[in-house]
């Protein structure tokens, strides 16, 4: 049993019996892929004390007490639990309750083996071979096979589904033709036998393990998806720790029950039942947790600053502030004056009073890359708060007394825009705010036709800088609305996905961020701080920035 082997190796590391170098060799011998062992090592090194370093992937877990009902509430309206389509908080961050995939992230956002028992990467980095664990079953009792993964990956990449992850497997052979609707399947996804799946790539792509650890690539039972049709959106059938019991749309909640046949079913999950609620504003979440009616908040209490102020003052041990992968910035329309001039773009970056951002629970790093992300370079010089420098840059650029209209887009409180309004007025802009009933996603690239700048936030789905390049900063990237592009970044970004050496890859991304900061197509703010609160009885409440809460490893005392 390789799982057992891996566990023993990890325990040895944890107890300091193995040095890193030996560990890497042992791991390689066990067939754990080159890009994964780093991740495994990361977990192991991070683990300490009572944490069981074990083959169960994900954030640390401890021995807990089985039984009872755990409850959590989320602010948004939940529309679907179909993995490639879920996007709201309570939907997307609940997917791991019902589904699992080949890989899973650990608490440090590194991919680990989950339903795969091994991952082999060919020497040229263009072939990934996964061996599946045997005996893993869906909630309907059927055993998971390699062809289920092929089905799932093709479904998530298909044009018909139109998922936001449609382009995540572009490096796989035949993906382009399939995505265009020309072929019925992706030939690069190969079912070797019942328990062996192979991905053949057109070029090396080290993001593959991470991609496969995101919920839209968690395995689905083909027959259930077909049989249920639209009902699948609220009657998910997967391999996860919980099974959907009752979905109550009117009551804005569902009940899920423990899956005894879960692949780690001997240990996890601890709760017999999960009470999952949505449409509950953060303020109410907090009040319910405080009165003991709820075990944990789902939304970010940081959006309700008075609560956090109260919690900080009370030194409540059940509230926690977590660094997130939620990037906050203002995107500038670089196609038009005044922001077609890099001096003006730099000036507005100097104009922002960064320390004040903390009152809105933004950690004002001044970076685009969140700390803890590969490629984040703390030594990189960012724009400090320097209104005088801003003014002189504006004077140089001849951009004085410029009028700007900043939209407050749907769902925005307008606070961050009002902060910016004052900062920009201090350096000589005339700033008007307008409410726009459309959201940033509704408007997309139309934003640049209406406004000179707008606020944007991005929670990273794939905790890898490649996502930032391919989605936000690459020339013509789907969520790059600034009209800005940089050939050097595009080139480096294209190369980086093929670099297997993590350190080298990290420095490539650091170089990318350096160019980004110098070119300043955005007003860089930082990352938001995620604030949670849980009930006294809830034990081992874990939050990590990729999938947030992990209800399979919490229990009630």
Partner 1 sequence: MSTAASPADVEEFLDGAARARRTGRVDPVLLSGCVIVGFFIVCAIFAPWIAPHDPDFQQADGLNGIGPWAPFDSSYLLGTDELGRDYLSRLIYGARVAIFIAIVPNAIAMVIATLVGVSAGYFRGRVDTILMRITETVMVLPAFLLALALISVAGSGLWVVVIALVLVSWTYAARVVYGEVLRIREATFIEAARALGASSWRIIFRHVIPQLRGLLVTYFTLNAAFMVLTEAGLGFLGFGIQPPTPSWGAMIGASRDLLFWPWLIILPGVCLALLGMGFYLLGEGLQRRFGPRVPTARL
Residues that bind partner 1 (CB under 8 A): 281-283, 303-307, 309-310, 312-313, 356, 359, 408, 413-415, 417-419, 421-422, 432-437
CB of 30 or CB of 438, closer to partner 1 = 438
Smallest distance from the beta carbon of 371 to partner 1, in angstroms? 23
Q: Is the Cβ of residue 218 or residue 361 nearer to partner 1 in the bound state?
A: 361
Pick the closer one to partner 1 by CB: 105 or 530.
530
Alpha carbon distance 556, 203 (integer Å) = 48
In three-state secondary structure terms, 538 is: strand
Question: Which residues lie below 8 Å from residue 29, measured CB to CB, with a gap of 6+?
Answer: none
Smallest distance from partner 1 to CB 417, Å: 8
We find the least distance from the C-beta atom of residue 304 to partner 1, in angstroms, to be 4
> Which of 214/300 has CB closer to partner 1?
300
Smallest gap from Cβ 88 to partner 1, in A, equals 18
* Cβ at position 141, least distance to partner 1 in Å: 45
153 in Cβ contact with 220 (< 8 Å): no
8 Å CB contact between 58 and 106 = yes
* Shortest distance (Å) from residue 313 CB to partner 1: 6
| Complex with partner 1: residue 309 or 488, whichever CB lies closer | 309
CB nearer to partner 1: pick between 121 and 424: 424
Distances (CA, A) of 47 to 16, 24, 54, 140, 268: 11, 17, 10, 35, 18
Query: Furthest-apart CA pair in the chain: how many Å?
Result: 71
Query: Bridge-partner residues for 404, per DSSP?
Result: 431
SS (H, E, C) 422-484: HHHHHCCCEEEEEECCCCHHHHHHHHHHHCCEEEEEEECCCCCHHHHHHHHHCCCCCCCCCCC
Nearest 5°: phi and psi at 326?
-100, 100
Q: How far is the CB of 452 from partner 1 (least distance, A)?
A: 16
Q: Are the beta carbons of 435 and 408 closer than 8 angstroms?
A: yes
3-class DSSP state for residue 330? strand
Q: Give dist(CA 476, CA 486) in Å, integer.
A: 10
Torsion angle of C-alpha atoms 21, 27, 29, 31, degrees rounded to 10: -150
Q: How far apart are CA 521 and CA 542, in angstroms?
A: 35
Nearer to partner 1, 426 or 557 (CB): 426
Q: How far apart are CA 423 and CA 453, in angstroms?
A: 14
Nearer to partner 1, 449 or 495 (CB): 449
Residue closer to partner 1 by CB (options 414, 485) is 414
- Nearest distance from residue 388's CB to partner 1, in Å? 16
CA distance 202 to 187: 11
Range list of H helices, 315-432: 342-351, 387-397, 415-426
Q: Give the residue with the Cβ less far from partner 1, 15 or 437.
A: 437
How far CA 426 is from CA of 334, 390, 422, in Å, comes to 22, 10, 6
Selection from 151, 214, 197 nearest residue 459 by Cα: 214
d(CA 116, CA 40): 14
Which among 290, 215, 241 is positioned nearest to 66, based on CA atoms?
241
What is d(CA 339, CA 344) in angstroms, rounded to the nearest whole number? 6
Q: How far is the CB of 289 from partner 1 (least distance, A)?
A: 14
Cβ 74 to partner 1 shortest distance, Å: 15
State the number of CA atoms in the 13 A half-sphere of 515 facing the CB.
18
Name the residue nearer to partner 1 (CB basis): 108 or 290: 290
Least distance to partner 1 from the beta carbon of 323, Å? 20
Q: What are 128's strand-pairing partners? A: 121, 199
Nearer to partner 1, 185 or 425 (CB): 425
State the nearest-atom distance from the C-beta of 290 to partner 1, in Å. 11
Cα separation, 517 vs 383, whole angstroms: 8
Q: CB of residue 438 vs partner 1: minimum separation in angstroms?
A: 10
Cβ proximity to partner 1, 290 vs 514, nearer residue: 290
């Amino acid at each position: 049993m390789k799982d057992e082997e891996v566990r023993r190796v990890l325990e040895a590391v944890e107890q300091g019996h193995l040095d890193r170098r030996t560990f890497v060799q042992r791991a390689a011998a066990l067939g754990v892929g080159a890009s994964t062992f780093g991740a495994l090592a990361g977990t192991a090194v991070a683990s300490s004390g009572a944490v069981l370093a074990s083959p169960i992937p994900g954030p640390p877990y401890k021995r807990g007490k089985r039984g009872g009902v755990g409850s959590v509430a989320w602010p948004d309206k939940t529309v679907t639990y179909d993995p490639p389509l879920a996007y709201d908080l309570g939907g997307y961050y609940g997917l791991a309750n019902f589904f699992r995939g080949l890989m899973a992230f650990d608490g440090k956002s590194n991919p680990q083996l989950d339903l795969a028992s091994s991952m082999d990467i060919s020497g040229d980095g263009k072939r990934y071979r996964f061996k599946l664990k045997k005996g893993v079953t869906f909630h309907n009792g059927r055993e998971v096979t390699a062809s289920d993964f092929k089905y799932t990956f093709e479904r998530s990449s298909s044009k018909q589904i139109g998922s936001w992850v449609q382009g995540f497997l572009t490096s796989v052979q035949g993906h382009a033709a399939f995505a265009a609707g020309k072929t019925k399947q992706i030939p690069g996804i190969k079912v070797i036998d019942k328990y062996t799946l192979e991905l053949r790539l057109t070029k090396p792509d080290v993001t593959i393990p991470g991609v496969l650890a995101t919920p839209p690539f968690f395995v689905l039972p083909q027959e259930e998806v077909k049989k249920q049709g639209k009902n699948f959106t609220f009657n998910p059938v997967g391999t996860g720790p919980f099974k959907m019991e009752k979905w109550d749309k009117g009551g804005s909640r569902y009940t899920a029950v423990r899956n005894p046949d879960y692949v780690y079913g001997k240990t996890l999950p601890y709760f017999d039942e999960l009470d999952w609620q949505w449409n509950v504003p953060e303020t109410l979440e907090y009040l319910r947790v405080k009165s003991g009616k709820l075990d944990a908040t789902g939304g970010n209490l940081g959006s309700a600053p008075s609560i956090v102020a109260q919690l900080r003052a009370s030194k409540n041990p059940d509230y926690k502030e977590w660094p997130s992968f939620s990037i906050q910035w203002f995107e500038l329309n670089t196609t038009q004056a005044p922001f077609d001039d890099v001096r003006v773009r730099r000036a507005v970056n100097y104009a922002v009073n960064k320390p004040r951002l903390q009152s809105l629970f933004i950690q004002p790093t001044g970076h685009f890359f969140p700390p803890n992300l590969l490629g984040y370079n703390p030594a990189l010089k960012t724009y400090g708060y320097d209104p005088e420098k801003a003014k002189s840059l504006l004077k140089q650029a001849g951009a004085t007394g410029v009028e700007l209209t900043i939209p407050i887009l749907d769902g925005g409180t307008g606070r961050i825009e009002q902060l910016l309004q004052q900062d920009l007025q201090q350096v000589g802009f005339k700033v008007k705010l307008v409410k726009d009933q459309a959201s940033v996603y509704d408007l997309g690239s139309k934003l640049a036709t209406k406004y000179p700048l707008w606020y944007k936030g991005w929670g990273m789905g794939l905790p890898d800088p490649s996502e930032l390049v391919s989605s936000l900063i690459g020339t013509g990237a789907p969520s790059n609305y600034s009209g800005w592009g940089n050939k050097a970044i595009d080139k480096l970004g294209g190369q980086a996905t093929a670099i297997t050496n993590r350190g080298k890859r990290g420095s490539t991304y650091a170089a990318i961020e350096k160019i980004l900061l110098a070119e300043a197509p955005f007003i860089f703010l930082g990352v938001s701080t995620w604030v949670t609160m849980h009930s006294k009885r809830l034990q081992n409440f874990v939050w990590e920035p990729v999938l947030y809460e992990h209800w399979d490893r919490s229990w009630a005392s």
